[in-house]
Amino acid sequence: MAYEQDVQRLEQIIAALDRRDLDLDEALRLFEEGVERLRAASSALGAAEASVRQLVEQADGSLGLADFNR
């Protein structure tokens, strides 16, 4: 599933968990799904960050490695 879909589903899960009429079993199921979606989204972000680390042209015309962790 794509990062955007995971984030959208997380938002839906949060909204559902905010409802006071949710029974405990359903709340637990949604919480578990939310943890899985959060892990998937975090992993996708890590992969995207790794792919962004590439050679980029500096202002002086030289090439350097972009480090987005600064």
What is residue 55's three-state secondary structure?
A: strand
Residue 57, pLDDT score? 58
Indicate yes or no: pTM above 0.85: no
- Helices marked H in the chain: 3-18, 24-52
Cβ–Cβ under 8 Å, residues 3 and 41? yes
Return the CA Rg of the chain.
19
pLDDT of residue 38: 97
Question: What span, in angstroms and rounded, lies between the C-alpha atoms of 31 and 61?
Answer: 50
Q: Each residue's pLDDT tens digit in the chain (70 positions)? A: 599 999 999 999 999 999 989 999 999 999 999 999 999 999 999 888 776 665 565 667 676 766 655 5
